[in-house]
Amino acid sequence: MAPQYQIRADYDARTIVVYQAYAPRIADAALQAGGFVAPFSFHRMTWIKPSFMWLMHRSNWARKPGQERVLAVRITREGWEEALSQAVLTTADPAAVAQAAVHVQWDPERSPRGAALNHYSIQVGIGRHLMRTFTDDWIVSLTDLTPQVRKAASLIQTGQAAKAQRFFPAERAYPLPSPLADRLSSEV
């Protein structure tokens, strides 16, 4: 049984994949430029999610207006851990949350059909003051996952959820350094 609060992600020795869903004009511009550019907003918080299933729930499998395109954003583990080191849990003191450069919240993980599971996935909000660091220094690559998301959604809708799983990224427990893991778990 998985721990109730655990970061599960697709990662390698140097990078971790987080997911975001955007309107086509934002995704197209980002993919063409190889990074986020206008009309992406550099002046507001952006939420990144290492849980593919949670983003599928949030974007309704890339069918929600303004979230029709799903991007896999590969960032450095150094950047990911730097963001987490600056994070404040969204349920903390409102004054601390308002001043935080990074917000963290734990939401129920989701099944392919969207049912809430009994363990939680992390969502990380990168504030506007760190936005350029996120986009210019931490991002390694962007990949458009929309075609595979649509194939998986179609399979799930037609009762073929087992076949849809071949389109899901492999996620496993992310090994946080002990001080960071202790900090995030003590805030839950």
pLDDT tens figures, 25-74: 999 999 999 999 999 999 999 999 999 999 999 999 999 999 999 999 99
- CA 35 to each of CA 40, 43, 68, 89, 188: distance values in angstroms, whole numbers, following the listed order: 10, 16, 18, 28, 33
The rounded distance, in Å, linking the Cα atoms of 152 and 34 is 25
* Token pair recorded at residue 46: 């952006």
The rounded distance, in Å, linking the Cα atoms of 55 and 47 is 10
pLDDT of 186 above 70:
no
Residue 89 lies in domain: 8-186
Q: Is residue 165 part of a domain?
A: yes
Contacts of 148 (CB under 8 A, 6+ apart): 167
pLDDT at 121: 93
Report the candidate in 65, 46, 64, 45 with the shortest Cα–Cα distance to residue 56: 64
Q: Is residue 129 part of a domain?
A: yes
- CA 11 to each of CA 8, 22, 96: distance values in angstroms, whole numbers, following the listed order: 9, 22, 30
DSSP at 61: T
What total number of domains does the chain contain?
Answer: 1
Q: How confident is the model at residue 1 (pLDDT cuts 50, 70, 90)?
A: low
pLDDT at 187: 53
State pLDDT tens for residues 97-130: 999 999 999 999 999 999 999 999 999 999 999 9
The rounded distance, in Å, linking the Cα atoms of 59 and 63 is 6
Q: Is residue 97 part of a domain?
A: yes
Residue 58 burial (CB count, 10 A): 20
Contacts of 97 (CB under 8 A, 6+ apart): 88, 89, 90, 103
Residue 38 burial (CB count, 10 A): 11
Q: Is the Cα dihedral 174, 177, 178, 182 positive or negative?
A: negative
Q: Is residue 1 part of a domain?
A: no
The rounded distance, in Å, linking the Cα atoms of 72 and 39 is 18
Looking at the chain, the whole-number percentage of residues with pLDDT higher than 70 is 97
Q: What pTM does this model have?
A: 0.94
Q: Is residue 2 part of a domain?
A: no
Q: Is residue 91 part of a domain?
A: yes
Per DSSP (E only), the strands in 102-144 are 102-110, 116-126, 139-144
pLDDT at 129: 93
